[in-house]
Amino acid sequence: MKKKTKYHHGNLADALLRAGVKEARVNGPKNLGVTHLANQVHVSPMAVYRHFPNGESLKAGISQQAREELARYMLKALGQETDVKKRFLTIGRSYIEFGLSEPGLFSVAFLDCDSLPNDEDDPSSRSIFHDAILDLSNEGLIEHSDIEQVAAFAWSLVHGYVTLTSAESLSPAMPKPEAVNELLERGWLAITKFRK
Amino acid sequence: MKKKTKYHHGNLADALLRAGVKEARVNGPKNLGVTHLANQVHVSPMAVYRHFPNGESLKAGISQQAREELARYMLKALGQETDVKKRFLTIGRSYIEFGLSEPGLFSVAFLDCDSLPNDEDDPSSRSIFHDAILDLSNEGLIEHSDIEQVAAFAWSLVHGYVTLTSAESLSPAMPKPEAVNELLERGWLAITKFRK
DNA sequence: TGTACATCAGTGAACGCGCGTTCACTGATGTAC
DNA sequence: TGTACATCAGTGAACGCGCGTTCACTGATGTAC
Which residue type is seen at A49? Y
Q: What's the CA gap between B17 and B37, in Å, rounded?
A: 9
pLDDT at A9 over 60: yes
Model confidence at B9, pLDDT cuts 50, 70, 90, reads confident
Position A1 scores a pLDDT of 35
Does residue A173 or residue A38 have the better pLDDT? Answer: A38
pLDDT band per the 50, 70, 90 thresholds, residue B81: very high
The helix-helix angle for A84-101 and A147-166 (nearest 10°) equals: 30
Least confident interval from B70-74, B134-138, B171-175: B171-175
> A127 φ, ψ to 5°?
-70, -30
> Residue B171's pLDDT is what?
55
pLDDT tens for residues A24-50? 999 999 999 999 999 999 999 999 999
- The residue of B159, B174, B178, B192 whose CB has the most chain A CBs within 10 angstroms, and thus the best one to mutate to test that interface, is B159
Domains in chain B, CATH or no CATH each: 11-192 (1.10.357.10)
Question: CA–CA separation, B82 vs B146, rounded Å?
Answer: 22
Phi, psi of B33 (to 5 degrees): -85, 165
CA distance A194 to chain B (A): 6
CA distance B115 to A39: 33
Interface test with A, best of B107, B157, B184 (most A CBs within 10 A): B157
To the nearest whole number, what is the mean pLDDT of chain A?
90
State the pLDDT at residue A168: 67
Average pLDDT of the residues in A166-175: 66
What is the pLDDT at residue B113? 66
> Is residue A151 pLDDT above 70, yes or no?
yes
Residue B6's pLDDT is 65
Alpha carbons B133 and A160: distance in angstroms, whole number: 18
Quote the percentage of chain B above a pLDDT of 90.
80
pLDDT of residue B112: 78
pLDDT at B106: 97
Q: Gap from A32 CA to D16 C1', in Å? A: 22
Taking CA atoms, B159 is separated from A3, B103, B150, in Å, by 46, 12, 14
Task: Give A17 CA → C28 C1' in Å.
Answer: 24
Nucleotide closest to residue B10 (CA–C1'): C9
- Put simply, the answer to whether A167 touches B110 (Cβ < 8 Å) is yes
Of A110, A114, A164, the CB nearest to B167: A110
Report CB contact under 8 Å: A161, B160. yes
Closest CA to A29 of B177, B48, B112: B112
Residue B172: predicted pLDDT: 55
Instruction: List all nucleotides in chain D with at least one atom under 7 A from a protein Cβ.
Output: 9-14, 18-24, 27-29
**Over residues A152-159, mean pLDDT:** 96
The pLDDT, as a whole number, for residue A196 is 76
CB-based contact B89:B188 (threshold 8 Å)? yes
Average pLDDT along chain B:
90
Q: Which of B155, B185, B194 has its CB closest to that of A186?
A: B194
Chain B residues lying within 8 Å of A151, measured CB to CB: 173
Q: What span, in angstroms and rounded, lies between the C-alpha atoms of B25 and B18?
A: 11
Chain A residues bordering chain B (beta-carbon distance below 8 Å): 110, 112-115, 126, 148-149, 151-153, 155-161, 163-164, 166-167, 169-171, 173-175, 179, 182-183, 185-187, 189-191, 193-194, 196
Say what the pTM is: 0.94
Q: Three-state SS string across chain B, please?
A: CCCCCCCCCCCHHHHHHHHHHHHHHHHCCCCCCHHHHHHHCCCCHHHHCCCCCCHHHHHHHHHHHHHHHHHHHHHHHHCCCCCHHHHHHHHHHHHHHHHHHCHHHHHHHCCCCCCCCCCCCCCCHHHHHHHHHHHHHHCCCCCHHHHHHHHHHHHHHHHHHHHHHHCCCCCCCCCCCCHHHHHHHHHHHHHHHCCC
Q: What is the pLDDT of residue B178?
A: 82
* Amino acid A102: pLDDT: 97
Q: Tell which residue, A105, A106, A113, has the closest CA to residue A54.
A: A113
* Mean pLDDT (whole number) for A72-93: 97
Which chain C positions have some atom within 7 A of a protein CB?
9-14, 18-24, 27-29
Give the residue from B165, B170, B191 with the most A CB atoms within 10 Å of its CB, the best one to mutate. Answer: B170
**Nearest nucleotide, CA B7 to C1':** C10
Residue A93 has pLDDT above 60, yes or no: yes
Candidates B170, B179, B190; nearest CB to A152: B179
**Chain B CA closest to residue A127:** B171
pLDDT digits (tens, 9 = 90+) for B39-57: 999 999 999 999 999 999 9
- Pick from A152, A160, A196: which is nearest to B156 by CB? A160
Q: How far apart are CA B56 and CA B62, in angstroms?
A: 10
- For residue A63, give the chain B residue with the closest CA: B170
Instruction: Determine the pLDDT at residue A134.
Output: 95
